[in-house]
Amino acid sequence: MPRSCCCTAGLAASTSSVATQLNPSERRRTTRNKAGPGPVDVSVKIEIWSDVVCPWCYIGKRRLEHALTEFEHADEVEITWRSYQLNPDMPAGQAVPTVDYMTRRFGPESKVMVDRVAGLAATEGLAFDYGSSLAVNTLDAHRLLHLATELGVGGAAKERLLRAHFVEGADLSDPDTLASLLSEVGVPAERTRTVLAGTEYADEVRADIAEAQALGCTGVPFFVIDRKYGIPGAQPVEVFLGALQKAYADRD
């Protein structure tokens, strides 16, 4: 199972504090999983590998969004969400209270970990409720995010699933729950159910994970800007802002 910057249960902080430059061989560009019609003139492309049950991924998302409010060329930025699974070995269709799951894995110290991350999330305006959240296998959620991306609502779907998991205690392994949540952002429930009944988009999810590893990603969140700069972890706003400014200055 891949090691995660969020640790296997998604709660340990990344220790890296700066963006790193990718090797030239890692800078190939892809167009797969584009997030619908983007800006007419895209100067900076950000790809984000993350999981919907990763707390640092949600925190990092908020910090990037904050950085974009301070970036004068934010309207020229395109964001593409990529799949990654923290716990791919979690049994499909099974939901376990996150607190119980954490306690079994890490013992009494898990409460300190949970409280610390919840506190950091609160500083970003995120009201994490670990008492109601459920640990699940996220393959189906990622398959549906690929569907949502094809329909041009990938970003909205990502936010909805993150909020559902961390704030609302939704069971992201339940087909009815997933269909309901995605319908809120414009994905037809019938289409969602069709995807869940088969294996559609599973290859795309696996390809995302393989591509992340090829880029040197060992965990999430992992932000890649223009296939030149990699930012591991939920870094401070100034790290994101500095990387955005450098990428814009270095654009081809």
Q: What is the pLDDT of residues 140-176, one digit of tens each?
A: 999 999 999 999 999 999 999 999 999 999 999 999 9
pTM above 0.75, yes or no: yes
d(CA 4, CA 22) in angstroms, rounded, equals 19
Token look-up 């690929």 returns: 146
Above 50 in pLDDT, residue 225? yes
Alpha helices in the chain (DSSP H): 55-70, 98-106, 109-123, 139-150, 154-166, 175-183, 189-197, 202-214, 237-249
